Amino acid sequence: MTELRATYRLQLAGEFGFDRARELIPYLADLGVSHLYLPPSFQARAGSTHGYDVVDPTSISEELGGESAFRALVASAKEAGLGVILDIVPNHMATDEANRYWSDPELRPKFFDFDPETGWYRRFFDIDHLAGVRQEDLEVFEETHRLAIALVRDGLIDGLRIDHPDGMADPAGYLDRLRDAGVEHVWVEKILDPGEHLRPWPVAGTVGYEFLNDAAALLVDPAGEAPLTALWEELSGDARPFAEWAHQAKLEQARGTFSAEVVRLAELHPREGLAEALASLPVYRTYLRGGRGTPEDLAVLREAGLEWLLDAPEEFVTRFQQTTPPVMAKGVEDTAFYRYARLLALNDVGGDPGRFGISVEAFHASNLERAARMPRNLLVTQTHDTKRSGDVRARIGALAGMAEEWEARVRRWLELTGDLAGPDPAERYLVFQTLVGAWPIEPERLWAYVEKALREAKRTTSWGSPDSQHEAGVQAFCRALYEHDAFRADFEPFAERVAAAGARSALGQLLLKLTVPGVPDVYNGDELLDLSLVDPDNRRPVDWAARRDALAALRAGEAVDPKLLVIVRALALRARRPEAFAGAYTPVDAGDAVCAFTRGEDEVLVVVPVRGGHSGAKLALSPELGGAWRDLLGGAHRELSRRTQVSELISPHGVALLERI
């Protein structure tokens, strides 16, 4: 495998296929990543915008350019010194006539969780045109993985990213088969609850949502919790903690969207309260096999009062465990996250909005654990599935550090726009946070997001039963804000200040991603300012020419975007000192407001202020850390002493990356 330093996730669709991606190889190599990270590239249904609706896992997508263009892309990457990681979709396929496994009545029951007598098959979440695949069947596994395994064995692909393993009957068995087939480097799209650990699977790690949420929580000022909680409870009229919002939404999903699955479970093992049981699990799923589970699984079952699963029929247990993930995903991520808006920076994939923040010590502990357990775990701040980009999340998170002023502004805006009908106070609050996070944003993009948010929340409208009158009122409100002189006069100066604070936080989380234990991933264009919202907003075309020009300007010594500077300098450092980033992670005490640490044998020093109050902070450096260091972001040489002032190190960008001379 090519030395794993950093990945770059591309999005391919429509006219941007393998040939267009191939044009980016010189730029990506110059940026400093080691691996091109491709989205699903097998044949998907006609018109697919993402590739997750596969119809033929044995052939390369013709819409993206076909096999010859795919091989040319991989060859160009290899020539430039880049490895390739491929996202594959083993859990489900599209129910399309072009899918021979589905359209053939003899193959269908073999390949899909499908009961020919009742017509029930397992869906991907609530999407009827995506049917679950029976990967527990050896012949099904071999047929659907023939191409993926061949690409690995032939040396074209270094590793695989496995989409949604939780949907399978036996994720551990599936991953064992991949390992036995010679696929050595595997990452799983596994959503872990804060504090939950990845099971002992033969994988390099997850795709990195744990880091995203830890970094977001680290950069949220805990002083803002009380005032923001009080404001939210007042506007929503609801003082429940997030856990209760989540449980209610999960129960709604179990009794509504997934009622057919509940009926099916009852047929396998009649029992009262199955919907409540599905909703009560505090994590995505357990992994019982043969009445046994890991100590963590058993602890989860005890917490939820579900120990009876250990004695239930095996088929029922399998189907129950396959059903809890969609109940969790649709109930929490796609419902409760849009209802509970205390601070939207905390509402992202794998996150717990009820956890307002974490300490520097807790962040260090997570990094030390990752270094010990999964040193090749991916690290992300944005993906195609996140609710908002890292830059938007950082801006909204920065509101916690100015909570009293934010509260005053919100009350002012509610007063100024009181004559505008449409959304209720909770919906207005979501709009205000979104505007602050993504400003400047076009009215069309704002409304596309708000419409999705309202329908996902399912409070006043929904996808299944849209309330056109209410939606029209909210849309009119959103549009009126752009023409409301008094609102804009008050909003825009404040939004500029939030943007500045958010930029500092965003740079901090970026530097942390590039330097803590794990493998950093850069998402599709995120090396410059990216104010994207949830899909499909985050799949908009990227201005690659602007990024090429910015990188060329940086190489020429011109002033450039700080994000790009941090990425290039940090990745170059990882290339120069791979042993340091494969080595120790040692926290350096600098108080509660600063995250500082060294990598390797004290070869690299990273300093990131994580909230206000760091102006007088000092690094408590050991004697061996004294002496001469090179400032990779500021360009100067630094002489460090045992009580070096943080403020001396972080100029001019607000963070510091130093290399021992």
Four-residue CA torsion sign, 200, 202, 207, 208: positive
Q: pLDDT at position 116, please?
A: 52
The pLDDT value given to residue 651? 82
Strands (E), 253-331: none
**CATH code for the domain defined by 543-660:** 2.60.40
- The architecture CATH gives domain 208-220+355-518: Orthogonal Bundle (1.10)
CA distance 372 to 363: 15
Instruction: Give the predicted TM-score (pTM) of the model.
Output: 0.97
Q: What is the distance between the alpha carbons of residues 473 and 470, in angstroms, rounded to a whole number?
A: 5
Answer whether 625's CB lies under 8 Å from 598's CB.
Answer: yes
Residue-level pLDDT at 641: 87
Strand order in the sheet with 127-132: 92-94, 127-132, 123-124
Q: 């004559």: which residue's tokens?
A: 419
Closest Cα to residue 625, out of 595, 652, 600?
A: 600
At residue 615, the pLDDT reads 87
CA dihedral 149, 155, 156, 161 (to 10 degrees): 50
Q: How many CB atoms lie within 10 A of CB 143?
A: 16
For residues 604 and 363, give the distance between their C-alpha atoms in angstroms, rounded to a whole number.
18
Architecture of domain 7-189: Alpha-Beta Barrel (3.20)
**What would you measure as the largest C-alpha separation in the chain, in angstroms?**
76
Q: Which residues pair with 35 in a beta bridge?
A: 7, 83
Mean pLDDT by 10 residues, the chain (661 residues): 95 96 98 98 96 98 98 98 98 96 94 72 91 97 98 98 98 98 98 94 98 98 98 98 98 97 95 97 96 94 96 96 98 98 98 97 98 98 98 98 98 97 97 98 98 98 97 98 98 98 98 98 98 97 97 91 97 98 97 97 96 90 91 92 90 94 93
Instruction: Mark out the alpha helices in 544-632 (DSSP H runs).
Output: 544-555, 562-576, 578-581
DSSP run (H or E) holding 431 = helix 425-438
Q: Are 541 and 429 in contact (CB under 8 A)?
A: no
Instruction: Give every CB contact of residue 6 below 8 A, 6+ residues apart in sequence.
Output: 32, 33, 34, 35, 514, 519, 520, 521, 522, 571, 574
Give residues with Cβ within 8 angstroms of 5, minimum separation 6. 32, 33, 34, 35, 519, 571, 574, 575, 578
* Alpha carbon distances (Å) from 639 to 214, 390, 644, 649: 32, 33, 9, 10
Report domain extents, the chain.
7-189, 208-220+355-518, 222-342, 543-660
Q: Are 325 and 331 in contact (CB under 8 A)?
A: no
What the block records as the tokens of 176 is 């064992």
